[in-house]
Chain A
Amino acid sequence: MSTAGAMPQQSETTGGTIIQIEHLHKIYMLGEVEVHALRGVSLSVSAGEFVAIMGASGSGKSTFMNVLGCLDKPTKGTYLLEGIDVGQLSRDELATIRNNKIGFVFQGFNLLSRTSALENAELPLFYTSLSPKVRKERAIEALNLVGLGDRIDHYPNQLSGGQQQRVAIARALVNTPSIILADEPTGNLDSRTSVEVMEIFQSLNEKGITVVLVTHEPDIADYTKRQVIFRDGKIRSDRTNEKPKNAAEFRRTLPEIDAEEEAA
């Protein structure tokens, strides 16, 4: 990874609580049936943490992520993001929060097709008042940070899955958010590329960026510092991982079989 401190940090490495969640409930209506996806979740995340949210499918972890990312509103309970009660905000205010406090990385990358890597990474900045020049500089900086500085003009269909996910990470980073939320970021990737993506998250976390990711693979959770396990809409366990695996070191032990494919 390139230069440290290229992206200014929103928060200090330690201290301040970024996320404060109390008794969160989420009830969906699926036709006539009520689906209780979250049943009273309380969680707090401090600046600089690297959290994995785990659980089987249907455990409510993705719903939780969507609420965290201000894409969905909780039915009950409070969610304070940097002290702001998100539940009280209007649609436009939530959009502003998503724009400058949260960086979201999806399982399916969710890049705009027929739009270059640069413009994809630049997308959140379109909705700010920054000048085109600054926007471009920042997007290039973010792409450099994820190691794609040489592919800024490539289109998503010209990039491998791992590279596409790195563009998505650059997009999440470009607005210097308080927190990066990743929903199954390695779900669509092979194991080697997954390690590469985790390497990026680890290096970002080392620079002080708070990362919360959802995964159902214990392998992936091993790279994080804290593991929260969901079951049936509740938190079953919340433990600190004293010795996270180092993705960069692990990658070096892997054979270089994908090098050619990557280059293509």
Chain B
Amino acid sequence: MNITNILISAFRALQRNKMRSFLTMLGIIIGVGAVIAMLAIGQGAEYSVQQQISSLGTNILMVFPGSSQQGGIRMGAGTVTTLTEEDANAIARECPAVAYISPGARSGGQVIAGNLNWATSIEGTSADYLEIRKWKVEYGDFYTDQDVKAASKVCVLGRTVADNLFPDSDPIDQNIRIRNVPFKVIGVLARKGQNAMGQDQDDIILAPYTTVLRRLSYSPNIRYVLVSAVSAADIPVAQKQIEELLRMRHKINSYESDDFTIRNQTDIATMATATTQIMTILLASIASVSLLVGGIGIMNIMLVSVTERTREIGIRMSVGARERDILTQFLIEALVLSLMGGIIGIILGVSGSQVISSLAHWPTFVTVFSILLSFGFSFAIGIFFGFYPARKASRLNPIDALRYE
């Protein structure tokens, strides 16, 4: 019996009980649809988490000066001034895996513009700061290397600061006073929202770190160096290069420990991604339970079908159908059921994910992998759950099958 005939007779047999075939397929449809939708939602979650992490800036390393120790009392990070501007410049010059650096200085205080005032923090940075943080200026300009070198009294406002100091007017080219030092506003940053800890990242003023150090900061030393590696893969390389460079510059012997600390964000990112991946796998496994139930439905219906069609099997055997002919016939029927269910389920799952993302504003991604996976799964279910009934049919004795009422 060739495959076309088997397919035709399989479709015909399924057509005879349209409702029953449909309900049987429904199990697979729901199962496959659920698996696809769950994988799509999981992928979406992974994407959102990655988005949020990269909003902190990508490939970031932070270099802090070491802690000082007086007797037995350790004073905490940054209490000694082992990190200098020269160190920062050396990192920029001599570490090939480093893309950008921004020495950091911090200050804070009351800021006055016209008759309004606002307490906020002032972050001293290099001109590359926005590159590292993946941040943008919404309007106006950012200060240049020239401004940094000259320690110009210019600044860029975060959205929250701009809204509070200039609720109705354009802040560009206006003067503000930060602790009585006049600064010219040259730009306003794009809104960045809250960070992972719930802090408002837009409540900030950026200024050249040289200006902050010389005019505002209580200490003349940089607090940290913000570094971005060339790529994610280069983060450990950059870390190593900075470590070696600083140990050399600080003349640290091999038996002494570092007088600085380097931290990176990839650890956090990796952990968060792993968490969402586990969630995705969990969701998909729950969904695949319904696929299993669907498969059992197919087996059930095929068993009923074999019993109902015992006479047909007898007739076919009496005119020369061999065991494998009967086996193939029923196996193909089960496969047609499960694959049709699978295809409809894929269509449903894909469109369902789209509905979810448009209604819930949640990004969903249907991958080719998830489609192939569910298709393969429904194929396997057809074979697995179809085999037993088909085998049962093929093992019938022709004379018993013919006599069956």
Chain A residues in the interface with B (C-beta under 8 A): 66, 69, 71-72, 91-92, 95-96, 98-100, 104, 106, 110-112, 114-115, 123-124, 126-128, 132, 171, 175
Say yes or no: A98 contacts B319, CB within 8 Å: yes
Most buried by B among A96, A124, A128, A175: A124
Say yes or no: A92 contacts B311, CB within 8 Å: no
Residues of B within 8 A of A91 (CB): 322-323
Say yes or no: A96 contacts B12, CB within 8 Å: no
Residues of B within 8 A of A98 (CB): 317-320, 398
Say yes or no: B321 contacts A127, CB within 8 Å: yes
Whether B16 is near chain A, meaning CB under 8 Å from some CB there, is yes
User: How many inter-chain contacts with C-beta < 8 Å in the A-B complex?
Assistant: 66
Residue of A nearest to B16 (CB): A114
A-B contact pairs, 6 of them (CB 8 A): A71-B317, A71-B398, A72-B399, A95-B320, A132-B4, A132-B5
Return the contact of B320 from the options A100, A110, A111 (Cβ within 8 A): A100
Residue of B nearest to A67 (CB): B399
Q: Given that A71-B402, A72-B399, A110-B311 are contacting pairs, would A123 and B323 also be in contact in the complex, using a CB cutoff of 8 Å? A: no
Say yes or no: A123 contacts B316, CB within 8 Å: yes
Q: How far is the CA of A91 from the CA of B402 in the complex (A)?
A: 16
Q: How far is the CA of A112 from the CA of B315 in the complex (A)?
A: 8
Say yes or no: B399 contacts A126, CB within 8 Å: no
Known: A71-B402, A132-B2. 15 other contacts (CB 8 A): A66-B399, A71-B399, A72-B398, A91-B323, A99-B319, A99-B320, A99-B321, A104-B318, A114-B16, A115-B12, A126-B5, A127-B1, A127-B319, A127-B322, A175-B319
Most buried by A among B1, B312, B398: B398
Q: How far is the CA of A175 from the CA of B316 in the complex (A)?
A: 14
Say yes or no: B319 contacts A104, CB within 8 Å: yes
Whether B325 is near chain A, meaning CB under 8 Å from some CB there, is yes
Chain A min CB distance to B395 (Å): 9
Residue of B nearest to A101 (CB): B320
Chain A min CB distance to B256 (Å): 84
Residues of B within 8 A of A111 (CB): 315
Residues of B within 8 A of A99 (CB): 319-321
Residue of B nearest to A103 (CB): B319
Say yes or no: A96 contacts B319, CB within 8 Å: no
* Secondary structure dominating the interface of B: helix
Q: How far is the CA of A206 from the CA of B324 in the complex (A)?
A: 37
Residues of B within 8 A of A72 (CB): 398-399
Q: How far is the CA of A187 from the CA of B316 in the complex (A)?
A: 22
Q: How far is the CA of A255 from the CA of B312 in the complex (A)?
A: 37
Residue of B nearest to A92 (CB): B322
Residues of B within 8 A of A123 (CB): 315-316, 319
Q: Given that A112-B312, A126-B5 are contacting pairs, would A71 and B318 also be in contact in the complex, using a CB cutoff of 8 Å? A: yes
Residues of B within 8 A of A69 (CB): 318
Q: How far is the CA of A223 from the CA of B234 in the complex (A)?
A: 98
Most buried by A among B16, B314, B317, B322: B322
Q: How far is the CA of A36 from the CA of B315 in the complex (A)?
A: 26
Residues of B within 8 A of A127 (CB): 1, 316, 319-322, 325
Chain A min CB distance to B138 (Å): 72
Chain A min CB distance to B10 (Å): 13
Chain B min CB distance to A153 (Å): 15
Chain B min CB distance to A130 (Å): 10
Residues of B within 8 A of A128 (CB): 320
Q: How far is the CA of A255 from the CA of B322 in the complex (A)?
A: 46
Residues of B within 8 A of A100 (CB): 320
Among all A-B residue pairs, the 7 with the closest Cβ atoms: A99-B320, A124-B319, A95-B322, A71-B399, A127-B320, A72-B399, A126-B1
Say yes or no: A110 contacts B321, CB within 8 Å: no
Return the contact of A95 from the options B4, B16, B321 (Cβ within 8 A): B321
Q: How far is the CA of A259 from the CA of B333 in the complex (A)?
A: 42
